[in-house]
Amino acid sequence: MRFYITTPIYYPNSEPHIGTAYTTIACDVISRFYKQKNYDVFFLTGTDENSNKIIESANKVNKKPIEYVNEMAELFKNIWKNLDIEYTKFIRTTEDYHIKTAQFVFQKLYEQGYIYKGLYEGWYCIHCETFWTTSKVDDSKLCPNIECRRPLNYIKEENYFFKLSAFEDKLLKYYEDNPDFVYPDYRFNEVVSFVKSGLQDLSVSRKYNNWGIRVPFDQDYSIYVWIDALTNYISALGYPFELDLFDKYWEVSHHMVGKDIIRFHAVIWPAILMALNIKLPKKIIAHGWLMYDNQKISKSKGGDIFNLKEIALSNDKIKISALRYYLLREGSFGQDIPVSLERFKYIYTSELSNNIGNLFSRVLAIIEKKLNKYVFKESDFSYIQNSFINERLSNFDKELSNFNYSKAVLEILNLADYLNKIIENYKVWEIKDKNLNQIMYELVYSLVVLNKMLYPFMPFIANNILEQLNLPLESLKWDYTIPDSFNIKERKILFPKIENVLA
RNA sequence: GGCGGCAUAGCUCAGUGGUUAGAGCAAGGGAAUCAUAAUCCCUGGGUCCGAGGUUCAAAUCCUCGUGCCGCCA
């Protein structure tokens, strides 16, 4: 069984922020989850380095573009590493193999008649490298991108166009035949109605400006982001020159994207693939935005509160684990997620510290103090209902398989609640005879299951628990057989109470 | 403007024809002392947006209205 998951490739013209991390963590959780189930997982992330904005960003810091992107790519890798992101490959679109693939793709589309030279006339933002329709441009004639707002130019320019319009019917047929192609379904509906409203051909080149990938048969032009960036998903697998990985993983491909780039992934990318005669990705998963103070989180809005670079480079693994948990625990995946420091503190204290952390603490303390750190299975389960635990686990599996992160987390909390109630109901601290061993064994057994569910969200914490329970890494696998006895090691507080979780 | 969605407890939401509408959190009361004062139990609380309709029966289906949200390169 195999699984291929990708993040979008990120623009390195600014440092990664909490929103970027959200996407990447979401992929990491899924990736780790499938690894636990013994899937052969390929997890791809990387940087999209060929935009002309890079030149500008590099100039600002007095660097050559290539030096600049080299440094930024290292920063991205470093931050992901610190956030416990375990990717398989980090792709950079300035790397040779990617350039070759992008050019190959462009050439092939051209040869097959899907790319033609045409004239574009209309409003253009040089900075954003974006053509704007008249409906979006107001009287000010400023760039509609609120983060840009530079003056637009009215241009007439020859460019290469991709015959997107030729794929309207094929796409609609594909959507109809693959009702799970885009998640969530309401986003899928939007995609379908967009395509139904009619597709226009797409400008896929820009005037070459000493940066970017040249159109192979016309040195005056560079390949624009669609064909350049989107092909990273297959160039990373070696397409079309080394097909081993491609043959292995492409048919199980999942693209995680923000809701703002669904169309590129659910319309343009499939059309390109159809033109190349390549199978379409299995699923496009679109998440919502993190919202701070009712606005999309960004460097200026909320980015200072949730300062990713600072958090990541602090190497405070508990804080980082809690952040991973918090971001995916909130809201309903796909919808916008409101985040705030207050809420993060609340989740940390209530769910991680008081509920989960304290549960481990009270169980292990009893075993340490009253059972000399040792418990063993003496009889069949008589305190804890195995069916209840199995149901949590299978619900967790079902929800996470469907990208319902927060619902999966609720199963974790549900199990923790249940175990807290068991301790309470049987007044475990009063039991003096051999029944104590049995109930404690059942509790530790349950904690091992709980830890399996914690792992994809908080791998550092899960490993910490493994040490305390004296268990091997394999105990995180779904097919692990839980042992009949446990020798507990030293007990450690998982989530210390802290006044300022982020400070 | 076109298309689509949503409106249920103070908050976030579950509930698509069948007892007295549910959960978590918040609020109020209590118990316990193994544990990071962490936990557990109980209680209060709803014109299911409004109006009309279909039905033996509507939060649930239909129509209209109101409000909010998403998509329309």
For strand B, which residues in window 119-158 of chain A come within 7 Å by CB? 132-133, 135-136
pLDDT for residue A500: 59
Closest C1' nucleotide to A165's CA = B73
pLDDT reading at A499 higher than 80: no
Mean pLDDT of chain A: 93
Q: Are residues A246 and A354 both part of a single domain?
A: no
Q: Is residue A74 part of a domain?
A: yes
For strand B, is any atom closer than 7 Å to the CB of A362? yes
Give whichever of A142-146, A199-203, A496-500 has the largest mean pLDDT: A199-203
Domain count, chain A: 2
pLDDT tens-place string over residues A446-465: 999 999 999 999 999 999 99
Q: For residues A219 and A184, is the Cβ–Cβ distance under 8 A?
A: no
Q: Which two tokens stand for residue A39?
A: 């899937």
Closest C1' nucleotide to A498's CA = B36
Q: Is residue A348 part of a domain?
A: yes
Q: Are residues A344 and A292 both part of a single domain?
A: no
Q: Is residue A317 part of a domain?
A: no
pLDDT for residue A498: 77
pLDDT reading at A21 higher than 80: yes
pLDDT tens-place string over residues A253-289: 999 999 999 999 999 999 999 999 999 999 999 999 9
Average pLDDT for A167-192 = 94
pLDDT reading at A503 higher than 60: no
Task: Give the DSSP letter of residue A470.
Answer: T
pLDDT band at A154 (very low <50, low <70, confident <90, very high): confident
Task: Render A237-270 in DSSP notation, one character per residue.
Answer: TTTTT-HHHHHHHGGGEEEEEEGGGHHIIIIIHH
CATH code assigned at A207? 3.40.50.620
In this structure, what are the phi and psi dihedrals at residue A353, rounded to the nearest 5 degrees?
-75, -60
> Is there a cis peptide before residue A338, judged by omega within 30 degrees of 0?
no
Q: Are residues A17 and A101 both part of a single domain?
A: yes
pLDDT for residue A163: 97
pLDDT reading at A408 higher than 60: yes
> Is there a cis peptide before residue A270, judged by omega within 30 degrees of 0?
no
Task: Please identify, among A268, A296, A324, the residue that sits at the C-terminal boundary of a domain.
Answer: A296
CATH code assigned at A371? 1.10.730.10
Q: Are residues A82 and A146 both part of a single domain?
A: yes
ipTM for the whole predicted complex goes beyond 0.90: yes
Task: Please identify, among A244, A269, A296, the residue that sits at the C-terminal boundary of a domain.
Answer: A296
Q: Are residues A271 and A345 both part of a single domain?
A: no
Q: Are residues A144 and A263 both part of a single domain?
A: yes
Q: Is residue A324 part of a domain?
A: no
Q: How many angstroms is C1' of B42 away from CA of A462?
A: 35
Domain of residue A463 covers 340-487
Q: Are residues A348 and A225 both part of a single domain?
A: no
Q: Are residues A418 and A349 both part of a single domain?
A: yes
Q: Is residue A320 part of a domain?
A: no
Average pLDDT for A470-496 = 95
**Strand B nucleotides in reach of protein CB atoms, 7 A cut-off:** 2-5, 12-14, 25-26, 32-36, 38-41, 70-73
Q: Is residue A408 part of a domain?
A: yes
Q: Which two tokens stand for residue A315?
A: 């190497």
For strand B, is any atom closer than 7 Å to the CB of A369? yes
Closest C1' nucleotide to A357's CA = B36
Q: Are residues A461 and A359 both part of a single domain?
A: yes
Q: Is residue A354 part of a domain?
A: yes
For strand B, is any atom closer than 7 Å to the CB of A440? no
Closest C1' nucleotide to A356's CA = B38
pLDDT for residue A501: 60
pLDDT for residue A16: 94
pLDDT band at A502 (very low <50, low <70, confident <90, very high): low
**Residue A427 CB contacts under 8 Å (≥ 6 apart), including other chains:** none
